[in-house]
Amino acid sequence: MRQKSSNRGILILALVTVIATCLTPMVATAEPALHRIRVATITTTDLASVERDYGRWLKYMVRERGKISKSLAQSWGAPAIAGQRYILLSPSGSPDVFIRAIEQRDLPAHKPLTTWGWNAIEIIVDDPNAVYSSLRDSPFKVIGEPAQLSGYPSIRAFQVLGPSNEVIYLTAETGDRSKSILPPPQSDIDRIFIMVVAGPDIDALLAFYSSKFALQSGSPRQRPVGVLRRAQGLGDDSTFPLTTGRLVQRGNLIEFDGYPAATTARPQRAGELPPAIASSSFAVRNFEGLVLDWITPPTVHPGLAYAGKRAATVRGPAGELIELIEESTE
C-alpha cells in the first residue's frame, strides 16, 4: 500500500506542473495563433472496437463516418491511408471537439509513453471518482488511480490506457469552478483540453511553438513523473522536464515533456500515420501571418471537422503532426 500511494503521488506531479504554469504571470505578448484544440486523431486496427468502446464507456457519440480523402491523406504526408475508414466522435457537452479514429491495417509495435510525438489526451470530466468506477471493468486500463493534486487539492485526476494504446488523462475541478483555471465540463465526460507532446529536446519544442505560434510557456521544471518512469523502466530518482503553453481559449493547453536520450522516434511505416495518437488539430483565426513549412498548401477538405474551412499540416521538432484549421477567413 505504501508503494502504491507513493506512485499515485508521483504520477500527478506532471499535472501539478501544468497548473503551476497556468498560475505563473507572463509578460504581455501577442495573442497565440492557436485558439483551441479541435481534434485528436488516433490510429487503430479495429475501428468497430473504438466506436463500441468510446461509445459505451466514455459516452462519445459518432458524429461522422467516412473514408479519408486523397487530399487529406497527402496533407498529413500519409498518402497510403487515402480511402481508409474513419469515425469522428465527440461528447454531448462539446460536440465540435473531436476524437478522430482512423483504421490502418497493420500498425507497428509501440509502447506508450516511450517515444516522441503526441503522447496523451487530457479530457475534462465532472466526477472523476464516478468515471473511474465506471471504467474499472472496461477496455480502458487504469495506469494511475484518482488522486488530488498536491498543492491544488480541489483538482482530481486519473489516467488510463485506451484500447488502441492511446493514453488518456481524466481530470476534474472539484471546487469552485467559476474560479478554476480548468474549463467547466458540459457533460459527465467532456472535451479534450490538453494535448501532451514529448521530445528529446524540450527547449527545441518550446522554441518552435513560441516562434511559429507565439505560444508562451513557463520554464521547464524537473519532475519525478511515476507514469513516465515506469513506462521507460527508469529508477526512482529519475526526473523529466515539463511545462505547458496556453492557447487562447480558457483551459486549452499544450503540455511539453522532455524525454531522455534513450527514447526514440515513434515507429511509422512509409506513407502512413504513426500508431496511437497520430496528430493534434488546432483552430486558428486564419493563416495570415503564419510562416510554416506546410506538408501541402492550405486547402478545404471534406468533412465535419473542417466545416468548409481550409486546413494544413506541419511537422513539429519531435516529428509530431500539427494540423491547423481556420475558424474565420476575416
The per-residue pLDDT for range 60-98, each reduced to its tens digit, is 999 999 999 999 999 999 999 999 999 999 999 999 999
Is 270 contained in some domain? no
- Burial category of 174 from C-beta neighbours within 10 Å (exposed 0-12, middle 13-18, buried 19 and up): middle
The per-residue pLDDT for 113 is 95
Please provide residue 27's backbone torsions phi and psi, each rounded to the nearest 5 degrees.
-65, 135
Is 295 contained in some domain? yes
Q: Cell 486500463 maps to which residue?
A: 141
CB 11 within 8 Å of CB 226: yes
d(CA 19, CA 21): 5
Is 276 contained in some domain? no
Q: Say whether both 144 and 167 belong to one domain.
A: yes
Please provide residue 325's backbone torsions phi and psi, each rounded to the nearest 5 degrees.
-125, 125
Is 165 contained in some domain? yes
Q: Say whether both 201 and 153 belong to one domain.
A: yes
User: Which DSSP string corresponds to 231-253?
Assistant: HHT--TT--EEEEEEE-SSTT-E
Q: Which domain holds residue 73?
A: 37-105+287-325
**Cα separation values, 6 from 119, 153, 234, Å:** 23, 17, 16
The per-residue pLDDT for range 155-196, each reduced to its tens digit, is 999 999 999 999 999 999 998 998 888 999 999 999 999 999
Q: Say whether both 302 and 193 belong to one domain.
A: no
CATH of the domain at 134: 3.10.180.10
Q: Say whether both 172 and 316 belong to one domain.
A: no
Domain count, the chain: 2
Q: Say whether both 187 and 219 belong to one domain.
A: yes
CB 45 within 8 Å of CB 107: yes
Please provide residue 121's backbone torsions phi and psi, each rounded to the nearest 5 degrees.
-115, 130
Residue closest to 273 by CA, chosen among 51, 46, 80: 80
Is 291 contained in some domain? yes
**R_g (Cα) of the chain, nearest Å:** 18
**Cα separation values, 120 from 123, 245, 279, 296, Å:** 10, 15, 11, 26
CB 144 within 8 Å of CB 128: no
Q: Say whether both 17 and 68 belong to one domain.
A: no
Distance of CA 190 to the CA centre of its chain: 14
- For the beta sheet containing 36-44, the strands, ordered from the edge strand earlier in sequence to the opposite edge, are 61-67, 85-90, 98-103, 36-44, 276-284, 321-326, 310-315, 299-300
Is 24 contained in some domain? yes
Q: Say whether both 156 and 179 belong to one domain.
A: yes
d(CA 161, CA 150): 23
CATH of the domain at 80: 3.10.180
Is 264 contained in some domain? no
Per-residue pLDDT of the chain (330 residues; tens, 9 = 90+): 434 444 444 444 445 444 544 444 444 457 999 999 999 999 999 999 999 999 999 999 999 999 999 999 999 999 999 999 999 999 999 999 999 999 998 899 889 999 999 999 999 999 999 999 999 899 999 998 898 876 678 999 999 999 999 999 999 999 899 888 899 999 999 999 999 999 999 999 999 999 999 998 889 989 888 789 889 999 888 899 999 999 999 999 999 999 999 999 999 999 999 999 999 999 999 999 999 999 999 999 999 999 999 999 999 999 999 999 999 755
The per-residue pLDDT for 329 is 52
The per-residue pLDDT for 330 is 55
Distance of CA 36 to the CA centre of its chain: 12
The β-bridge relationship of strands 253-258 and 98-103 is unpaired
> pTM (2 decimals)?
0.91
**Cα separation values, 200 from 114, 206, 256, 259, 303, Å:** 11, 12, 11, 5, 35
Residue closest to 27 by CA, chosen among 243, 217, 242: 217
Looking at the chain, list the stretches that DSSP marks H as alpha helix, in order from N- to C-terminal side: 2-11, 13-23, 47-57, 70-75, 128-135, 202-213, 226-232
Residue closest to 114 by CA, chosen among 244, 280, 272, 230: 230
Q: Say whether both 23 and 48 belong to one domain.
A: no
Is 269 contained in some domain? no
Q: Say whether both 73 and 222 belong to one domain.
A: no
Q: Say whether both 113 and 192 belong to one domain.
A: yes
d(CA 108, CA 110): 6
Which residue type sits at 78?
A
Q: Say whether both 13 and 120 belong to one domain.
A: yes
The per-residue pLDDT for 24 is 44
Please provide residue 306's backbone torsions phi and psi, each rounded to the nearest 5 degrees.
-105, -20
The per-residue pLDDT for 218 is 86
Q: Say whether both 131 and 8 belong to one domain.
A: yes
